[in-house]
Amino acid sequence: MHDVSRSQDQLDSLKETYTKIFKSTDPFSEMFQSNIEEKVLLYPTYGTYLEKDQFDALMAAIASTNDLKFAISEVEANDPFLIPASTDRHLYVSKHLIFDSPPSYEEYREHTIVLDNAIYSLNGT
């Protein structure tokens, strides 16, 4: 796992992947691009983390595709893929985590995720 929240080049690449899947970063608007035919929607019951059974179901779905790389992006911001200018120190920098393989639930919960977030495939499906 690595955090790409501080590298604008990596964020630009991640945004390109994100926009292949999602229409917007607004978690309350129409979310999927029209080419995405199959979807799995999981909503955390408490806070911003999935419950263990939700997480286990998602990891099983990821494993079934043999596409084990995925990202978690906090999307509850004006442009979560933009690092604020140094003069905007009061602005929150959205977190973006990339996983090369599915973590355990405990490893997932070790990461601070404070905003609404999206979990998605790095190949854009």
| Per-residue confidence (pLDDT) for residue 86, from 0 to 100 | 64
Q: How confident is the model at residue 62 (pLDDT cuts 50, 70, 90)?
A: confident
Are 14 and 81 in contact by the 8 Å Cβ rule? The answer is: yes
Q: With the C-alpha atoms ordered 102, 106, 109, 111, is the resulting torsion angle positive or negative?
A: negative
What's the whole-model pTM score? 0.87
Q: Quick one: what percent of the chain has pLDDT higher than 90?
A: 38
What digits encode the pLDDT tens for the residues 8-35?
Answer: 899 999 999 999 999 988 877 888 999 8
Q: How confident is the model at residue 88 (pLDDT cuts 50, 70, 90)?
A: low
Domain boundaries, the chain: 2-121
Average pLDDT over residues 35-41: 81
Does position 82 have pLDDT exceeding 70, yes or no? Answer: yes
Q: With the C-alpha atoms ordered 110, 113, 114, 119, is the resulting torsion angle positive or negative?
A: negative
Does position 90 have pLDDT exceeding 70, yes or no? Answer: no
Does position 97 have pLDDT exceeding 90, yes or no? Answer: yes
